[in-house]
């Protein structure tokens, strides 16, 4: 059985797989934005941007707040930290592997001389 955290992680990575959504996340990391502000740099309709935002909302990466007719979007850094935590494990794994490789290369270099 797949647990809730794994489902959430799948949603996060699926949402971040798209370059448009990654750019939207980057924009919101700087400050809260309206949907119109998020759409501005892209050559697509507001409806298309809204679909991207909804994918980010399903992944819990975006919080949307409605004030009158204005939709304000902000980054939910807590959800992003789940992905960071998962990646950090593999960063340690690869760092250890590279350390071992470096050690072996140094041994080989010593044996050459």
Token pair listed for 47: 């409806």
Q: Which residues have CB under 8 Å from 76's CB, separation 6+?
A: 60, 61, 62, 63
Whether this prediction's pTM lies above 0.85 is answered by no
**Does residue 94 or residue 34 have the better pLDDT?**
34
Q: Please tell me the class of the 1-113 domain.
A: mainly alpha
Q: Rounded to the nearest 5°, which phi and psi values hold at 45?
A: -75, 165
Report whether 10 contacts 58 (CB < 8 A): no
How far apart are alpha carbons 41 and 70 in whole angstroms?
Answer: 18
Span 84-105, pLDDT tens digits: 888 888 777 777 777 777 777 8
Span 39-61, pLDDT tens digits: 999 999 999 999 999 999 999 99
Confidence of residue 27 (pLDDT cuts 50, 70, 90): very high
What residue segments make up the domains of the chain, in order of their start? 1-113
Give 74's strand partners: 63
Comparing CA positions, the residue from 59, 72, 66 lying closest to residue 11 is 59
């Amino acid at each position: 059985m797949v647990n809730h955290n794994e489902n959430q992680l799948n949603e996060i990575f699926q949402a971040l797989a798209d370059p448009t959504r990654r750019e939207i996340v980057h924009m919101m990391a700087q400050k809260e934005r309206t949907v119109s502000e998020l759409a501005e740099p892209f050559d697509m309709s507001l409806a298309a941007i809204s679909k991207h935002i909804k994918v980010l909302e399903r992944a819990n990466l975006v919080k949307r707040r409605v004030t009158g007719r204005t939709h304000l979007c902000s980054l939910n850094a807590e959800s992003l930290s789940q992905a960071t935590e998962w990646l950090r494990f593999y960063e340690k794994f690869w760092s250890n592997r590279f350390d071992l490789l470096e050690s072996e290369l140094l041994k080989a270099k010593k044996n050459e001389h």
